[in-house]
Structure 1
Amino acid sequence: MEVSVNRDNFAILESFSSPTRIRIIELLNEQPMNIRALSEALDIKPPIVTRHIQMLEQAGIVRSELIAGKRGQQKVCYLQLEQMVLNFRSKPEELKQPVQKYEVIVPVGMYADFEVKPSCGLASEQSMLGMCDDPRYFADPVHRDARILWFGSGYIEYRIPNYMLYNEQASSLEIALEICSETPCASSHLQPSDIVFSFNDIDVAVWTFPGKIGKGKGIYTPSWWHKDIRHGVMKHIRVNEQGTYIDGIHASNVTIDQLALAADEEIVLRIGSRPDAKRCGGVTLFGSGFGNYNQDIHCTLVCK
């Protein structure tokens, strides 16, 4: 991750001004820790630890997940970045070049194409949509109401509107979504899964869901939901001029130029779990009204 030393990145730079936050980074470099464990290691009260964690989260240095513990939900913190490069001298064109940001929110049920294998299914905030393990219901128009969907293998495809102008050039494309593996109808044990993210038919990254996450009660998951998978993890996939990154960590050398984004063409996002993958554990996507984040698929295109 590259960061220019300027006022726009003050929140990131400020993260390193506290010895306590530096110590938190050192501790999380050794292993993920919850707030209570950090509090004990630092010998400071949990609310103070939480404020430090929030600053590190805003800077993109740390990420947190709510998981089930012996005494209810616990917040587990992870070190998200492997490295950060500080640029003290910005290129003149970077200082003068204005940027334009386009943001689109796509509900998880508003997919344009699919090819899924059981176990699979869809649900709205109120009820199941069709029968479990029957791919035919993915073609039913009611799929637009889905707030959670899952499949054992295959893919789901979204068409994202592209609002860039003809005189603009894309510099980065990012999606943020809540996701996990396994399927709610198949097993009570979350399995690892190699999940592929593609833009415009180009595979930009493969992320392996580690398993063993998601069985705790989701903050926004409806009370009627009786299946084992109740929340996922938040993932950010960004493609820019340097390559592709997942949560700020380099994932591949695919750059934004290779996607050939054009002002008159929509962006095709595909999320899949291939049956011949080493770890084919399926995909579950959480939208608003389900999981821990109460959001749909956030898409951000930055142009210059």
Structure 2
Amino acid sequence: MQIEVSSKNMPFLECFSSETRVKMIELLGEAPLNIKQLSQRLEISSAIVTKHIQKLEQAGIVRSENVTGVRGTQKICYLQLEQATLQFKSKKPYEHPTTTVAIPIGQYASFDVNPTCGLASPTQLIGVLDDPRYFADPQHVQAGILWFGSGYVEYRIPNFFHSNQKLRTLEISFEICSEAPGFNENWPSDISFSINDKPLGQWTCPGDFGKHRGVLSPDWWGNGNTQHGLLKIITVNPQGSFLDGTQISATTIHDLNILFSQDIHFRIASLETSTNCGGVTLFGKQFGNYAQDIIVTMQEDK
């Protein structure tokens, strides 16, 4: 994100004139927190925290969401902006039109998974644990969390571009971690990604996180289960494929054979042939730490 240094962007620039707001950004960069948790860590009142959060929200740096918990409603705060570049010399770059879609994690188009495996909606388990057949249960579309020890799930991304439009950048974000029985914070997993059968690259997740309860974990979801993952962003553009800004392969947007009127096939896999076959856990907007499904953003070329 580029921010022009000008008076019109003072709400953004003023956010960094306060040491308290900068500390809030640091804390939220580590994990989402509610107002009370921020108040305790900063040793200031909840009322002051709320005023600072409102200013950060107005600037687009932080977003918050009211979540119903055991003891009533709580306001969960998330760091929305990961990076920004200050632009001192004014210019008006071409703005590439974008299209964004959200795909629920249970709305996969195909799968081939092996135990340990399972699915759960925000209210209950779907089918029987460690039985891959239940990934075909019609209720799988309601899944808010799913996990498997090896194999893959594949999603169909709708392509709404017209015949005269060209795709410049494809960005996919999701919350993910390894899959161990119960959980194991030290459980590396080599997770592979592909689009239209073209490999994008591989990322090694460090573990299956369950030590700290997920911000969005439903009340019925036991403490001994996987609680949250890491928010990852895959970007494919004319230069290659990137994960959180780090290049993971030379596969470019032009290599993906994305055609007008044809869906885009996105696969997440834990291959038995990999060095660390540690499985996959995917989180939807009602599980884990991030209130989102699989978010796909497509940017048009000039």
TM-score range relative to shorter protein = 0.7 to 0.9
- Answer whether contact 2:151 2:270 (CA < 8 A) is retained: yes
Which AA in structure 2 matches 1:286?
F
- Answer whether contact 2:229 2:288 (CA < 8 A) is retained: yes
Deviations 1:251-300 (A, max 9, x none): 33322122232221111110011112122111000112211122211111
Deviations 1:141-169 (A, max 9, x none): 22112111000011100001000111111
Which residue, 246, 252, 262 being the options, matches 2:243?
246
Unaligned runs of 5+ in 1: 61-74
Alpha-carbon distance in structure 2 between the residues aligned to 1:152 and 1:15: 47
Which residue, 181, 189, 199 being the options, matches 2:195?
199
For the structure 1 residues 237 and 128, does the alpha-carbon distance in structure 2 shift closer, same or farther, using more than 3 Å as the test?
same
Match in the other structure for 1:72: none
Provide runs of 4+ in structure 1 moved above 4 Å.
Answer: 2-7, 13-21, 32-35, 43-48, 57-60, 83-90
**What CA RMSD, in Å, does the superposition of the two structures yield over aligned residues?**
4.2
For the structure 1 residues 172 and 89, does the alpha-carbon distance in structure 2 shift closer, same or farther, using more than 3 Å as the test?
farther
**What secondary structure sits across from 2:126 in the alignment?**
coil
- Answer whether contact 1:286 1:296 (CA < 8 A) is retained: yes
- Answer whether contact 2:172 2:235 (CA < 8 A) is retained: yes
- Answer whether contact 1:215 1:231 (CA < 8 A) is retained: no
> Are 1:189 and 2:178 matched, yes or no?
no
- Answer whether contact 2:5 2:88 (CA < 8 A) is retained: no
Deviations 1:117-156 (A, max 9, x none): 1100111112111111111111222211211100001110
For the structure 1 residues 151 and 172, does the alpha-carbon distance in structure 2 shift closer, same or farther, using more than 3 Å as the test?
same
Which residue, 218, 229, 232 being the options, matches 1:235?
232
Match in the other structure for 2:206: 210
When structure 1 is superposed on structure 2, of 250-259 and 201-210 the one drifting more is 250-259
Which residue, 258, 261, 265 being the options, matches 1:264?
261
Q: Could you tell me the TM-score, scaled by structure 1's length? A: 0.72
Which residue, 289, 292, 297 being the options, matches 2:286?
289
- Answer whether contact 1:4 1:88 (CA < 8 A) is retained: no
Match in the other structure for 2:160: 163
Match in the other structure for 1:71: none
Alpha-carbon distance in structure 2 between the residues aligned to 1:235 and 1:20: 28
**What secondary structure sits across from 1:144 in the alignment?**
helix
Percent identity of the aligned residues?
A: 39
Alignment length, in residue pairs?
Answer: 277
**What secondary structure sits across from 1:136 in the alignment?**
helix
Alpha-carbon distance in structure 2 between the residues aligned to 1:256 and 1:112: 22
- Answer whether contact 2:182 2:226 (CA < 8 A) is retained: no
Alpha-carbon distance in structure 1 between the residues aligned to 2:239 and 2:87: 15
For the structure 1 residues 255 and 130, does the alpha-carbon distance in structure 2 shift closer, same or farther, using more than 3 Å as the test?
same
For the structure 1 residues 136 and 126, does the alpha-carbon distance in structure 2 shift closer, same or farther, using more than 3 Å as the test?
same
**What secondary structure sits across from 2:125 in the alignment?**
coil
Match in the other structure for 2:128: 131
Which AA in structure 2 matches 1:139?
A
Alpha-carbon distance in structure 1 between the residues aligned to 2:233 and 2:227: 20
Alpha-carbon distance in structure 1 between the residues aligned to 2:292 and 2:249: 26
For the structure 1 residues 155 and 84, does the alpha-carbon distance in structure 2 shift closer, same or farther, using more than 3 Å as the test?
farther
**What secondary structure sits across from 1:281 in the alignment?**
coil
Cα shift at 1:176: 1.4
Match in the other structure for 1:255: 252
> Are 1:150 and 2:147 matched, yes or no?
yes
Alpha-carbon distance in structure 1 between the residues aligned to 2:229 and 2:173: 12
For the structure 1 residues 217 and 44, does the alpha-carbon distance in structure 2 shift closer, same or farther, using more than 3 Å as the test?
closer
- Answer whether contact 2:4 2:86 (CA < 8 A) is retained: no
Match in the other structure for 1:122: 119
- Answer whether contact 2:208 2:226 (CA < 8 A) is retained: no
